[in-house]
Amino acid sequence: MSKEKVVLAYSGGLDTTAIIPWLKENFGYDVICCCIDCGQAEELDGLDERAKLSGASKLYIENIVDEFCDDYIMPCVKAGAVYENKYLLGTSMARPVIAKRLVEIARKEGAVAICHGATGKGNDQIRFELTIKALAPDIKIIAPWRMTDVWTMQSREDEIEYCRQHGIDLPFDAKHSYSRDRNLWHISHEGLELEDPANEPNYDDLLVLGVTPEKAPDKGEYVTMTFESGIPKSINGREMKVSDIIKELNTLGGKHGIGIIDIVENRVVGMKSRGVYETPGGTILMEAHQQLEELVLDRATYEVKKDLGNKFAQIVYEGKWFTPLREAIQAFVDVTQKYVTGEVKFRLYKGNIIRAGETSPYSLYSESLASFTTGELYDHHDADGFINLFGLPLKVRAMKMQELNNQNNH
């Protein structure tokens, strides 16, 4: 009788390498490893050999960079989705697309379970598992870090020793370094000195994608971008697909110290955590998109879109991508993007994105209306009646208070 199969979300790191023999030993599964490439740029060389050496029967390396950019990043950019005013959802957006691919491979392989290496304290366990539940309610989920009766390893040393006992002697390092998550959109850093919010980050050791503003060039750099219906189409006159635009913006942003944030955020599980995030290209893309939106969206739509953008960020942060609510808000956002077409120009300088002009065929900005000369559309006398009506509730209330005061004083 053939063994039941489990699909493991595999990075080639120590945790997921130790999980392979652990799954075989405790559950008797046939382990299929899946390394999902969202543009993390880490070495994928040698993963095949490492997975097989660790006891996996098969390894999939899946490049989903374009799907990630087009179907997950862009809806968030168009929505202006930012969690708690700062976090551009780099890890949050990637988890549903990774889990979706794990489900697809599990179906293809006829696997009964999916296993991930996320801890029991973080957000990622929620994001992975909500996606699996939404797309494959019949598939079992295995989360070793929460199974403390079976998963007894407490440290990197324990994991290295466990691997060694199972004939896996790989060049893993026992020393603790920053806990990082990287994809095309960003890199996050947690751990070490960041665990105490009183400590300043050691940026010289920390930064991967760019430099601090102090180390950025002393000369600014102009960038021009075009958008069509909310989607970026070109940088400095060169047309590119979205993933290449983000790559190019990452290079430019990293060079000029753009998009480094240090935040204490509220995790879904109820605790606060502190992290430093580098999102150089994403910060520029969000800013450029908003720069154009300000020109073409009417006030009422802009106001509602801002509220729904915050809601969208919360939905994505909480791992609820595959829900009717996310689809509904995304549909609203798509309607608002119909006329977000045009060109924006800005200058990158020492951590700043400085506006340098924008144009759109759908611009609602009227020079004759905005200037101080009176055009046919705007008669200054009309403001009298408007202010009388607009201020009527305030005036009525003030008159009432005055009347009551006079009665009390007599």
Q: Please identify every residue annotated as catalytic.
A: 15, 95, 124, 179
For every residue of 255-269, DSSP letters joined together read: HTT-SEEEEEEE-TT
Tokens of 166: 């199972």
User: What phi and psi values does residue 36 have, to the nearest 5 degrees?
Assistant: -100, 115
Number of alpha carbons in the 13 Å side-chain half-sphere of residue 131: 27
Sheet of 231-235: strand order equals 238-239, 231-235, 221-228, 342-349, 352-359
Nearest to 79 by CA among 217, 282, 221, 230: 230
Helix, strand or coil, per DSSP, at residue 352:
strand
Dist CA 349 CA 401 (whole Å): 54
Residue 308 · residue 333 · CB < 8 Å: yes
Dist CA 17 CA 81 (whole Å): 35
Dist CA 320 CA 123 (whole Å): 12
Task: Provide the β-strand partners of residue 115.
Answer: 8, 142
Tokens of 374: 């009176």
In order of 39, 242, 246, 255, 393, the CA distances from 68 in angstroms are 9, 10, 12, 24, 50
